[in-house]
Structure 1
């Protein structure tokens, strides 16, 4: 079992774009959500996997991830996840010993950009890039499941101001 330790931030400007070393398109589908965690399927250009995430304690949460056949993932996304899909392009940006993942959302969440960094442990120090904005780690408004629930079927693009104005 692995524990995910992640910090999430808004992005203040486009300064991160110059540092991109890799990018890939992701489709996430929420299979199920329960009080303490979730199950999702994810597909990119090369592989597919299922992730089970448990309850968050501080910045850590248990995470179980298993690669699955692409055809199974495509079927789950279309038959099980239905409207609970998130499309995003993930840009990987190395900075000061860490790799930042900048997610540029598409679909009804187009315009939303979030930066994440995974850490080895909760107390690990890291240098904040100049393009980093406000931290939203632990803010329920910025969880993918919350974004989907509130804005996934809006039928229009959602603004960052709407997300910030929404109840937490």
Structure 2
């Protein structure tokens, strides 16, 4: 028996190209045009895929990310908006600890940096990410941008939920 299904188009599906940096000072806060509180957890996190649940600005999201390429800049990403109630229920099913953070959006040239100030067990860690159109794309680096940590798995949110920043020493 063949079942037919109505297929909805996802909100977002693409190959994500991003680079990640540590942040050396809090000047980004003054330059930010938007701030949001995020809470997220992982229904599945292994080396081949991550399934994330997130609540941001009263909206819920379900996201699937594939395995990163060799230099950690590129991977498949699918995201779908879900109800906040569904997201809360799914967060209760997530692995280990949840990630909480404040996210600042900062324009720099033609790009936007997402600067995450982690809270809870990851308090003290501040990371900036930039999404690019291709791996060689040039971008303006703000003075508060520090060491690049692209591809360093310990900085992935899914790993921070298992081995938080406070335990790195």
Please report the TM-score for the alignment, with normalisation by the length of structure 2: 0.86
| Equivalenced residues, count | 155
Gap runs ≥5 in structure 2: 1-12
Q: What secondary structure is seen at the aligned counterpart in 2 of 1:73?
A: helix
- 8, 23, 28: which is aligned to 1:16? 28
The residue aligned with 1:61 is: 75
Q: Does 1:76 align with 2:90?
A: yes
Q: CA deviation at 1:82?
A: 5.6
Q: CA deviation at 1:148?
A: 1.7
Q: Does 1:4 align with 2:16?
A: yes
Inter-partner Cα distance in structure 1 for 2:39 and 2:124: 16
Do the aligned residues in 1 keep the contact of 2:44 with 2:95 (CA within 8 Å)?
no
The residue aligned with 1:45 is: 57
The residue aligned with 1:115 is: 128
The residue aligned with 1:88 is: 101
Do the aligned residues in 1 keep the contact of 2:96 with 2:162 (CA within 8 Å)?
no
Gap runs ≥5 in structure 1: 152-156
Q: Which has the higher helix share?
A: 1
Do the aligned residues in 1 keep the contact of 2:99 with 2:160 (CA within 8 Å)?
no
Inter-partner Cα distance in structure 2 for 1:4 and 1:82: 24
Please report the TM-score for the alignment, with normalisation by the length of structure 1: 0.87
- Which one has the largest radius of gyration? 2
Inter-partner Cα distance in structure 1 for 2:95 and 2:135: 35
Q: CA deviation at 1:146?
A: 1.7
Q: CA deviation at 1:84?
A: 2.8
Q: What secondary structure is seen at the aligned counterpart in 1 of 2:163?
A: helix
Q: Does 1:145 align with 2:158?
A: yes
